[in-house]
Amino acid sequence: MRRRGLRISLCFMWGVLMMMVVIAGCASSEPSWTDFVGSAVEKNFPVPKEANQTETALNNSKMDYVHYKLTGLQESNEIPEAYEKVIAEWGWKEKTEESTGTTRVYEKGKQIVQLTLHDNSFTVLVPKKEEKMVIQGLESSP
């Protein structure tokens, strides 16, 4: 009888251990960098499909931005090479002279996008273009 209880306990512990291994395997902390969709603020700028949108500011007078949560990113690291490759494939070119620290500035045609890395998240920001109005003055004639 005592052996049977020991077997049941061992089977139970083995089952719990297997469940922990499966759960740990499913909770990967690294993004896959394989599937991308357009950003919420600029549909032509790629973001990883597995990133979760957490905050958005649209129709701001100076900028539009969206903040995404993506476990595994580190502010102290560079943008992952696979992500940089996809950004280039989507037609964006980095403006290295304007990129600083954890913020990268990209350009496609006349559109500008800023990508900033944070720990376990990133922000895509689209600055608004300043529209300059031309005001013509009256010229006095002699």
Q: Tell me: the pLDDT tens digits for 82-105? A: 999 999 999 999 999 999 989 999
4, 68: one domain: no
23, 80: one domain: no
Q: Is residue 133 part of a domain?
A: no
46, 101: one domain: yes
What would the pLDDT profile of 51-84 be if each residue is shown by its tens digit? 999 987 766 678 899 999 999 888 888 888 999 9
46, 107: one domain: yes
Is a pLDDT exceeding 50 seen at residue 24?
no
42, 111: one domain: yes
* Residue that the structure tokens 């919420």 belong to: 40
What would the pLDDT profile of 113-124 be if each residue is shown by its tens digit? 999 999 999 999
Is a pLDDT exceeding 80 seen at residue 140?
no
**Averaged pLDDT, 34-61:** 88
CA within 13 Å, CB half, 104: 19
Q: Is residue 140 part of a domain?
A: no
User: Cβ(118)–Cβ(66) under 8 Å?
Assistant: no
The total number of structural domains that make up the chain: 2
Domain extent, residue 78, equals 36-127
6, 59: one domain: no
Pairwise CA distance, residues 57 & 89, whole Å: 27
Confidence (pTM): 0.68
81, 13: one domain: no
In the three-class reduction of DSSP (H, G, I as helix; E, B as strand; rest coil), residue 95 is classed as coil
